[in-house]
Structure 1
Amino acid sequence: MTPELTVLALAILLQAVQFVAYAIGANRELGPGYTMSARDSEPSRSMSPATARLGRAFGNHFEGLILFTGAVVLVTLSGQATGFTAACAWIYLAARVVYVPAYAFGWRPWRSYIWIVGFLATVAMVISTLI
């Protein structure tokens, strides 16, 4: 397996860890009656800022993971995996790992800077396939 595919597998596992962290907090704060419902109405209680941020970080990673998956597919299927694309993949994953606590603890403006590092690493992977 290429390094890029390994990082993709780890990024997917990170998404699973983020889901568990968010789900534990949401179930504790909103109750399973609400979290297991169809959620047709707003909850009667609100989540803590940290739990709500974990939920937003989870959703944000879905968005980033779509782009990163595309980049990994392009690199892998075009046979253009290099040390550069592997480094970009690891940078993406490192940024995503650091992004979770940065978002949960409200590290401003660092959260945005961390996000842009992961985004630029993904874009660099795509551009490298076109060069």
Structure 2
Amino acid sequence: MTTELTVLVLAALLAVVQLGWNAVRANLEMGPDWFLTPRDSAPPQPLPVALGRLKRAYENHMETLPLFAIAAIVVTLAGASSGLTAACAWIYLAARVLFVPAYRFGWMPWRSFIWAAGFVATVLMLLAALI
């Protein structure tokens, strides 16, 4: 398996961890009653700030993961895997891991720089697949 695909699997596992963390935190902080319903209505109380930030960090990861997955798969299938694409894959994953505390604790403007590092790494992988 290429490095890029290995990192893709790790990025998917990060999503699993984030989803689980959000679910546990939400149940602990807001109680299980609303979460056991079909959620046809708004929650009885707004999400606490920290929980809302964790939720948005997860949602952001889910928005960037498809682009990274395309990059990792195309680089592998095109036989374009290289030191550059492997480094970009690791940069993407490191950025996604760092993005969680950056979002949770409101590290401004670092959160945006961390997000940009992961995005640029993904774009570089896509471009490398074309060359």
The alignment's TM-score, normalised by the length of structure 1, stands at 0.96
Number of corresponding residues: 131
Question: What are structure 1's unaligned runs of at least 5 residues?
Answer: none
- Look up the match of 1:50: 50
Deviations 1:69-128 (A, max 9, x none): 000111011111001100000000000000000001111111111000000000000001
Q: Is the 8 Å Cα contact of residues 22 and 55 (structure 1) preserved in structure 2?
A: yes
- Look up the match of 1:117: 117
- Give the letter aligned to residue 107 of structure 2: W
Aligned-pair identity (%) = 56
RMSD, aligned α-carbons: 0.9
1:29 Cα deviation (Å)?
Answer: 2.0
CA distance in 2, matches of 1:24, 1:127: 39
- Look up the match of 2:72: 72
- Look up the match of 2:85: 85
Query: Which 4+ runs in 1 deviate beyond 2 A?
Result: none
CA distance in 2, matches of 1:124, 1:27: 39
1:66 Cα deviation (Å)?
Answer: 0.6
Q: Is the 8 Å Cα contact of residues 29 and 46 (structure 1) preserved in structure 2?
A: no
CA distance in 2, matches of 1:72, 1:56: 24
Structure 1 segment 1-131 matched on structure 2, within 5 A: 1-131=1-131
Q: Is the 8 Å Cα contact of residues 29 and 45 (structure 1) preserved in structure 2?
A: no
1:59 alignment partner, SS class: helix
Question: What are structure 2's unaligned runs of at least 5 residues?
Answer: none
- Give the letter aligned to residue 93 of structure 1: L
CA distance in 2, matches of 1:122, 1:33: 40
